[in-house]
Structure 1
Amino acid sequence: MKVAITGSTGFIGKHLTAFLKNKGVEVQAIMREHFLPDQKLKLISLLNGCDAVINLAGASINCRWTKANKQIIKDSRVKTTRILVQAINELATKPEVLLSISAVGIYTNKEVWSERSGTYDKSFLANVCLEWEAEAKKVSSDVRLVIPRLGVVLGKDGGAFPKMFLPFRLFAGGRIASGNQGFSWIHIDDLLNIFWTVINTKKIKGIIHCTAPQMCDNILFTYTLANIIHRPALFHIPSFIFKMIYGESASLITNGQKVFPYKLLNYGYLFQYPEIKTALKNLCY
């Protein structure tokens, strides 16, 4: 089996590359330079013969959302996916499946959403997700399209967790804003296994939620982590502090969605880390 990956140098991409190679899969990295206008034929050549394509490309959203940064965030997802899909559509023999990621930030922070229901937010991030997914949906009908909407991906060596863990190690942990904002998350090990399951399960298609089944909010995360590492969680950081520091992007911390992985459970996927307590125990020790 041969799998092409965009965003292979990122946190998820590095883990996925190692995971697939361990399965005996040939991994074809698609780099940023392959999306330049004069690299079209090279991109098509790299995709040729691939059984699956996994689109992880996207600049970090963990920055202050200036006008310039917003454009980078959007273009690195929307334009990159557009070019990738155009290249796939030109292949004589197309991959069996395209996994093109998105995010649960597409939803409002009200209620609990499954793939069967959901109200989309009107925020910058939600609009990026909508445009991002729209480009993926332009792929040929000969290709099985799966759009995993990711929650916060938790891993020891990258992503959000090391930054979230640090204040607790320094005895400065505590809830953020009201603490009631949703915190939909997934352990990196589960995410990799989900991707592998999707590649090998032809009946899985369309939107899937890559989030653990336990509903979690900031309060549950905060006090579970504090209890596991035997640290206090006495602090309360009001939302206006984050808004002063990060501006609009503070919403990543002070708002959050509660998302349920109905499809994955329906297809029989068994989570290795279904609850935040088991996940944090693994990540902390």
Structure 2
Amino acid sequence: MSTVVVAGASGFIGRSLVARHRARGDRVVTIGRGEADASWSDADAIRRLLDGADVLVNLAGRSVNCRYTAANRAEILRSRSETTATLREAVAAVSQPPPVWFNSSTATIYRHAEDRPMTESTGELGTGFSVEVAKAWEREFFAGELPGTRRVALRLAIVLGKGGVIVPMRRLARSGLGGPQVDGRWPATRRRRAAGTVHEFGARGGRQRFSWVHLEDVAGAIDFLRGRDDLAGAFNVSAPGASDNRTLMRALRQTLGVPVRLPAPRWMLELGAAAIRTETELVLKSRWVAPERLLEAGYAFRFPELEPALGNILGRAAPRRDVAI
């Protein structure tokens, strides 16, 4: 039986990992808020949980599905950097640190990419608020010396599973708004430009790339990397079969059996995002990420292609590929 410490266990991925390890018979302890075994304010309790643990997985961080106000931006950064620093200090202080530490990161660290996929070796980091958060998060994670602990940053693409982003996407499709989210020009204030929160017009016609990964492959990649003592550093956790927004929405409609497909142009997305307090960057940035290091190491994705992944998640057979958009 292994002892697995999960920080930030209350989220979509965290709940799944906790359930998965407990089903195996592992001892799972958590760090976070509410009913967690240790709170972020109790450094002694965190050290007790980590001393002698077999693996640490940190998923803590405020959701980015919000409006990027100054207060929210500060909390998005703080909730990632401070929790990671707290864990690093605790790992350094215990006599038997966990041999491996997985820390969540994000594939958003790369630039808007329409020309080629971003890999760990050739990818280009982007600019703007979201990218700077990702950079700061990884700097905090890899800072200092932890000779007894191997560190792996998981640059996660959009995670698909029974929950999370699939829920609002399914609602859109069933309401008849299951067409592509189409970029366009939109005015921006000087303040938003200074904050790095403006999405600049890029891909046309809903062709912004959509890199994703099935929740099962997030857990599978962690299991795989845990067993490879020779692997450390940043890993893109993204299915090899990257899609684009137009293809994603078509596959979702087909899987759900929804024929109506009204597109959502930029002006509609901006007004809707303001109304529900979120940002259009989440659907308009072209995220094209390839899992170069995982594939080279020999990891076999359970769900490498989008349509079978959606069929698995939504409990339906994979859709036919010959239906036009």
Q: TM-score, normalised by structure 1?
A: 0.94
1:70 aligned partner: 73
Displacement of 1:264 in angstroms is: 1.1
Hey, which of these two has a bigger chunk of helix by percent?
Answer: 1
1:10 has 2:11 as partner:
yes
Distance 1:227 1:144, change over 3 A: same
Q: Distance in 1 between matches of 2:85 and 2:58?
A: 11
What displacement does 1:179 show? 1.0
Q: Which has the larger radius of gyration?
A: 2
Q: Provide the TM-score with structure 2 as the length reference.
A: 0.83
SS at match of 1:100: strand
State the shift of 1:236 in Å. 1.6
Q: 1:228 aligns with which of 249, 255, 266?
A: 255
Aligned positions of 1:1-285 closer than 5 A: 1-32=2-33, 34-36=39-41, 39-110=42-113, 111-138=116-143, 140-156=146-162, 158-177=163-182, 178-246=205-273, 249-285=279-315
Look up the SS of the partner of 1:71 in the other structure: helix
2:109–2:135 contact (8 Å) kept in structure 1 = yes
Q: Are the aligned partners of 2:119 and 2:236 in contact in 1 as well (CA < 8 Å)?
A: yes
| CA distance in 1: counterparts of 2:272 and 2:172, whole angstroms | 17
**In structure 2, distance between residues paired with 1:252 and 1:172:** 17
Q: CA deviation at 1:245?
A: 3.8
1:160-191 residue CA offsets vs partner (Å, 9 max, x unmatched): 01111112122331100131111110111111
Residue 51 of structure 1 and its aligned partner are, at CA, apart by 1.2
- Following superposition, the deviation at residue 46 of structure 1 comes to 1.6
Structure 2 gaps of 5+ residues are 183-204, 316-325
Local SS of the residue matching 1:92: coil
Cα distance, 1:115 vs structure 2: 1.1
CA distance in 2, matches of 1:80, 1:205: 20
Question: Per-residue CA shift, 1:200-231, capped at 9, x if unaligned?
Answer: 22122111111100121101101112222222
